[in-house]
Structure 1
Amino acid sequence: MTVSIDIARDLGGFRLETRFAAPEGVTVLFGRSGSGKTTVVKTIAGLLTPDAGRIAVGGRVLFDTDARLNVPVHKRRLGYVFQDSRLFPHLSVRQNLSYAARVRGREGPQDNDVADLLGITHLLDRRPHALSGGESQRVAIGRALLSEPDMLLMDEPLASLDGPRKAEILPYLERLRSETGLSILYVTHNMAEVARLATHIVLLDEGKVVRSGAPADLLTDPEMVRVFGIRDAGAVLSAKVVAQPLDGISELKVSAGRLFLPAVDAPVGAQLRVRILAQDVMLSSHRPEGLSALNILAVRVLAVRRGEGPGVIVQMQAGDDRLLARITRRSADAMGIVPGAECFAVMKSVAVSQTDIAVGLQSGL
């Protein structure tokens, strides 16, 4: 379900003036703290009222100052998942889930179907105090789904979780995206979540949209490194599992050749998204031999971004995909790394973390 936003609101010393249109899928609102991400989501939900503007979800107008329309929160048909689960502490998991379906009062997904999707069937008789942080958030997502929303709003749902709990819940979010077909507006400033989940990205800064578009375009744009951060700069490649040898190294096909990664938990034929950080990519003028690194792809340099420090960001074409490499200015000059130059990108297999591999969706790019 598409969403169209054109809103303005003064908040003391901060002015929100945001306009964007997002297609179906998972639209990620990304920006540093204080950029207006949560304010936008609360405005869409009806928890905040814009001074002026228009909000439409799937062609259904929820707010329009010109038409003097402001649909009440409970009639907007939007599911909201907060940073904390906000479960009813006196109710069991089963009762928390059933409450949402009962409030909606219309046919929708069944409790058991949602419990299976989110892997919480074994938790149905527990109370919230007996759940881990990741389990609580999965129940909160289930409750939002059972309200049968037109769209799901997720405001940094993993922000309060530690690394292991985030890793636990991300596969369920991928299933949610792939199996329900429900459009999601997802707020985060975590690049791993962006790379794994996003089908569309909206970049916010000081209440305004800086850029919006497909992950392949934004994540591999050297000029966007300042927004995403130099340590998080990287690319997302479409990949397909083609072999699972017995030595624990999975073989993947990408548009530029083959990638070999540590045991990917996916069957042969599965479509993946693989995030490769710029800092993990080395460049060679000639195809290297005698290296322990298994991944070598022929590339063509598209752009070189030179900052004030000793490093540069190199954007490259690798088959149908784009890659980024972060190397020193000295190496770039010595190797003649300029737009149009052809070279080889080298990546260690173990450099790609399991948290940077998403199952069930191509890069969508």
Structure 2
Amino acid sequence: MPCADDTQRIAAEARRALDICNACQFCDGYCAVFPALKSRRLVSAQDLTFLSNLCHNCRSCYHACQYAPPHAFDLNLPKSLSLVRQQSYRDHVWPPLLRGRLPHVGWPAVAVMASIVLSAVALVVVPALLLVPPEMLFGRQSGPGAFYRLVPWRVIAGVAGVVMLWSLLAIGFSVASFWRGMGPAPAGAPRLPALRDALSDAATLRNLGGGGVGCNDRDEGFSQARRRFHHALFYGVTLCFASTCVATVYDHLLGWPAPYPLTSLPVLFGSLGGVGMVIGTAGLASLKLHADPAPVAASLTGADCSLLALLFLVAVSGLGLLALRETAAMGPLLLVHLGLVLGWFATLPYSKSLHAPFRFAALLRAAMERRGRG
């Protein structure tokens, strides 16, 4: 974990880089960071919190910068803002007792995430091994309610519901703290139009467009790959959530227990969502591992890739469960999949997942500023 001197050094370097960018203004059209920066003569600590999370780390500004290394200014804005952004996750995590204590970088962050996920898998697998007869757990189950013969619905919904509610509560308090950390909201800005703008920016990932030509995902060449892989992951998760919602309606309102036919809406949504998650996570991991290392904060790669690995395993285990649900492998696959999903829910407020709500809050603040100026 960074000490106070490291925190001050990271903030000072980011502020120095932003001051140079504000004087230059060559990159104004790349993303929302530079128009927001232009309205600030001095960059405060609150501004650093805001601007670092508004940055989508597309790295276009680095490859376009005339002051990047080997220039004497040694300007590396994406790396500087990445380090500040990572500190903002630590500074606004909830409950406050964890602030400054929970690692978000390097192998300690990977170890914490792995321990939470493995504990969640054990919480599902161990009781099942003790309580479910082996002939049922490792036997072939089929027909309506097959899943719930191994793990009752009330157990699945109860445990997952408690963990998810805790995570949503923790994320809500973290975002509220982060919102305050960006400073007072612009006075007189129309809220609903700004919210519409922020939702559009988030859904389209406009700030990963590099001003329209794409970002520098791997090198100086422009590409839309990172944007597309993000879309695949985001909309894959959305489809999986839709699958769960439709399955809940089928079960509780219509009396149709899972598993469902291959042509049913829950299976179609879940299958498409799982494939999207696999494509998105694999693509983003490949880009991270093969990208130009210069504008990247190497200490963040482990935490980023561990989240991608977890999401990949959640998707693959779900697709495997769908493909083998009529075989004796269904029981073990169901337990592993439920454990991975539970681990994902548990790590939401304490992993790189926190970047999504923080970034949306920054997009909303930027939209409010634009609307207020207009």
Using the size of structure 1 for normalisation, the TM-score is 0.29
Higher relative contact order (CA 8 A, sep 6+): 2
Using the size of structure 2 for normalisation, the TM-score is 0.28
Bigger strand fraction: 1
